[in-house]
Amino acid sequence: MRLRLLVVFAVALLTAACATATKSSSAGGNSGDRNVLTTAQIDASGLPNAFELVSRLRRAWLRNDPVTGGPVTVYMDDREIGGAEKLREIPAVTIAELRLVRNEEAIMRWSPSIKGSVIVVVPRR
């Protein structure tokens, strides 16, 4: 009898945990990755441009790189388009995804001359 009660309790606990995990990961399109803003998050925000999205939803992205102290650079279509202020010129409705790439990865991906993190703008196609 005790074993049966223990099994029922374990199944109930696992079911509740799975339901909670599914609900939290699908709510608002949040993937749980603090280095990404998804289309669902961008659309749900109602914000006008990329700068407002980042400053309100991922403010830390705009700070100088925590390791190098270098400023943020913005890339779109694998090309540098400017600094953080350039985000003001990109309407939110044109963005599929925003992604933060830390300095170490940015250096390997684009150029050893990058001094800070990179915000990658992925446009909607």
Residue 7: what pLDDT? Answer: 45
> What is the architecture of the domain spanning 31-123?
Beta Complex (2.170)
Taking residue 5's Cβ as centre, other Cβ atoms within 10 Å add up to: 9
pLDDT of amino acid 66 = 87
Q: What contacts 74, CB < 8 A, 6 or more positions away?
A: 80, 81, 82, 83, 84, 86, 87, 118, 119, 120, 121
Q: What is the DSSP letter of 71?
A: P
The full set of domain ranges for the chain reads: 1-29, 31-123
The 10s digit of each residue's pLDDT in 71-111 is 999 999 999 999 999 999 999 999 999 999 999 999 999 99
Kindly report the pTM of this predicted structure.
0.75
Distance, first Cα to last Cα, the chain? 60
